[in-house]
Amino acid sequence: MAISGGIKFFDKSINLAADGTTIVGSTGDGSSASAIDRNKLSKWRSSGSDDTTTETLTLTLPTSTSFDRLLLLDHNFLDFNVQYSDTTLFTISVTQQGTGGLPEITDVTVPSGATMPPAASFDIFSAADATGYYVWFDKNNTSIDPAKAGKTGIEVDFIEGDSDSDIAAAAATAITAIGDFGATSLGAVITITNAANGVTTDATEEEFKNFDSVLGLDASIPAGIIETAFADDTAYYEFDSVTSDKLRIQILKTQVVDDEKNINQIIMTTEKGTLVGFPEIITPLRRNSSIRQLLDGRVSVSKSEETFNYSLNFSGYPAQTDFIPDVDLMNTLFDGEDTFIIWPCGGRRGSLFFNTTLRGFRLKDAIQSQIINDPFEPSYVRGIYVAPINLNVEMREHK
């Protein structure tokens, strides 16, 4: 299943530098903020990178915020993944510290199958840190082993309908089978006892997790936002809503071999709505030119950055149940004080939808906007209340 529908609208990005979000790049950190500043011309660029180097961008929001959509605009990534931070999935408590005369004992409380995301994990260590393990949870037999470097995986199979006690019991069995631990369960709590004495690193929860129920431009991605052969300049993902204050993007390879990695904008947001119908849309582009008349009759023209404006004409729009939500959405946008993002292509691209793709309709054209109609004038055709609707909506790119 691919992204469907028409023009999409989103809330203002929650991860703007102007609102307190910070971003750190593994290289090229001096340009990192360019990926969260709404400037369509600037980019984050790695430094000294190639296809053997994994680059990381880590965004930290000022507070945990919910979002269910992600756009990565105008980038050159081929092989990459995106995860969010969540350290509240498991409750981990060390009830006895490992010493030369005592084994480490740890209680881990697990969630139900409905709450557990795919490939969630926590780390445990055998006595005196002889071996590091990660206990990972395979949801519906579709999750991908996180394959943590330097650690041995302990797989726990479960289905979405399992209770927390079912999952705890399955995990206890899997952990005990390794031999370095004895594990029991009581309700949702797993009690893990090291098989030998020794000072041991405490168990920890994996900070970054995969998104669940991901839908990309062309297909669903059960394992999370994980791409290995991405070919467009912009990526878009829908997923189950998460609440987090961190996002991490890991970029392994670029579409042109060994290029520096780059991206224009990262947008974390929630969807306001998608139009069912197809109003006429006009996109006047402006360079806000300043024209000065010279004495010899010639002119001097100065141009600034390109700005987008959108005119949506709902002329003779069907007043049917399926289409009324489109008019309701326009009313919601008009009533709102906050800006919003318009994405005219709605995720569609290529010859199936466009003979040629005009500026304003490209994948990377996701524009922060506001309605400037005042007054806002919806009407019925010929004044007949059961007739189609006329409405023109003017949107202008917002600062």
* Cα gap 46→43, rounded to integer Å: 10
Count of domains for the chain: 3
Q: Are residues 257 and 312 in the same domain?
A: no
Q: Are residues 148 and 54 in the same domain?
A: no
- Asked whether residue 23 is assigned to any structural domain, the reply reads yes
Q: Are residues 281 and 386 in the same domain?
A: yes
Q: Are residues 282 and 392 in the same domain?
A: yes
- CATH code for the domain of 257: 2.60.120.260
For the chain, give the number of residues: 399
Q: Are residues 283 and 392 in the same domain?
A: yes
Q: Are residues 218 and 77 in the same domain?
A: yes
Q: Which region, left, alpha or beta, applies to residue 153 given φ > 0 means left and ψ of -120 to 50 means alpha?
A: beta
Please state, for a pLDDT cut of 90, what percent of the chain lies above it.
Answer: 75
Q: Are residues 153 and 223 in the same domain?
A: no
Q: Are residues 314 and 373 in the same domain?
A: yes
Pairing of strands 152-158, 132-139: parallel
* Cα gap 377→389, rounded to integer Å: 11
Residue at a domain's end among 180, 206, 232: 206
Q: What is the pLDDT of residues 208-247, one digit of tens each?
A: 888 988 999 988 887 789 999 999 999 999 999 999 999 9
- CATH code for the domain of 141: 2.60.40
- Asked whether residue 228 is assigned to any structural domain, the reply reads yes
pLDDT at residue 1, as a whole number: 57
Residue at a domain's end among 222, 247, 270: 270
- Asked whether residue 4 is assigned to any structural domain, the reply reads no
Q: What is the pLDDT of residues 169-216, one digit of tens each?
A: 999 999 999 999 999 999 999 999 999 999 999 999 877 888 988 999
- Asked whether residue 54 is assigned to any structural domain, the reply reads yes
* Cα gap 7→34, rounded to integer Å: 26
Q: What is the residue whose two structure tokens read 């930290």?
A: 60
Name the token pair of 121: 């994990």
- Asked whether residue 17 is assigned to any structural domain, the reply reads yes
- Asked whether residue 117 is assigned to any structural domain, the reply reads yes
Q: Are residues 66 and 118 in the same domain?
A: no
Q: Are residues 197 and 134 in the same domain?
A: yes
Confidence of residue 375 (pLDDT cuts 50, 70, 90): confident
Q: Are residues 246 and 107 in the same domain?
A: no
The per-residue b/e assignment along 337-362, b for 16 or more CB within 10 angstroms, e otherwise, is eebbbbbbbbbbbeeeeeeebeebbb
pLDDT at residue 2, as a whole number: 64
Measure Cα distances from 78 to 224, 237, 258 in Å: 16, 16, 11
**Domain assignment of residue 197, given as a range:** 91-206
Q: Which residue has the higher pLDDT, 350 or 108?
A: 108
Q: Are residues 329 and 384 in the same domain?
A: yes
pLDDT at residue 351, as a whole number: 86
Q: What is the pLDDT of residues 33-76, one digit of tens each?
A: 999 999 989 999 999 999 999 999 999 999 999 999 999 999 99
Residue at a domain's end among 270, 290, 321: 270
- Asked whether residue 6 is assigned to any structural domain, the reply reads no
| Number of neighbouring beta carbons within 10 Å of residue 258 | 11
- Asked whether residue 266 is assigned to any structural domain, the reply reads yes
